[in-house]
């Protein structure tokens, strides 16, 4: 199973891909949101591998072990957990055209727009800050073009 460092490497590789697809054609917001989520997924899996040497393949198992509201073996701080869950919801929206909130049972299609990418970047940045502080992981800044992007409270992304 992948180690902490292998998950971190994969997350960084995904970040480079995110920057590439963003610079090539900035209309594929659904794919950019999905890549943002997979960057975060590898960060979370690195956390689990480092803390308890467990390796999960199902989102539900990952969500349960990092949940700060339960008696989990490796919970994340609440804000980091919520950022991850928001990214997961945004990715579900992008992939299935459903509302990112699982409790919303609306039958209408929910498309992904630049505002969703900006939300995803904010949540991913929050996770990256946590990993930099908690695990001494360094990340290069990525250039992101998003109309609604405000980089004043973002650390690892700059407006291209």
CA distance 119 to 41: 16
Q: What is the pLDDT of residue 99?
A: 83
| Regions of the chain short of the pLDDT cut 50 | none
Q: What is the pLDDT of residue 149?
A: 75
Q: What is the pLDDT of residue 27?
A: 84
Q: How many distinct structural domains can be found in the chain?
A: 1
DSSP 113-132: -HHHHHHHHHHHHHHHHHHH
CB burial readout 143-153, b (16+ within 10 A) else e: ebebeebeeee
Domain around 58: 4-159
Q: What is the pLDDT of residue 50?
A: 97
Q: What is the pTM of this model?
A: 0.94
CATH of the domain at 76: 1.20.120.330
Q: What is the pLDDT of residue 26?
A: 76
């Amino acid at each position: 199973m992948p180690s902490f460092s292998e998950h971190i490497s994969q997350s960084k590789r995904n970040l480079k891909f995110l920057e590439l697809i963003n610079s090539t054609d900035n209309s594929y917001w659904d794919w950019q949101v999905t890549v943002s989520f997979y960057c975060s997924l590898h960060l979370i899996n690195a956390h689990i591998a480092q803390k308890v040497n467990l390796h999960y393949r199902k989102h539900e198992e990952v969500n349960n072990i990092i949940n700060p509201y339960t008696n989990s073996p490796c919970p994340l701080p609440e804000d980091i957990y919520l950022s991850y869950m928001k990214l997961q919801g945004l990715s579900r929206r992008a992939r299935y055209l459903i509302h990112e909130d699982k409790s919303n049972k609306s039958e209408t299609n929910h498309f992904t727009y630049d505002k969703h990418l900006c939300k995803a970047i904010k949540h991913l940045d929050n996770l990256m800050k946590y990993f930099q502080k908690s695990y001494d992981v360094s990340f290069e800044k990525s250039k992101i073009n998003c109309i609604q992007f405000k980089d004043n409270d973002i650390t690892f992304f700059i407006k291209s």
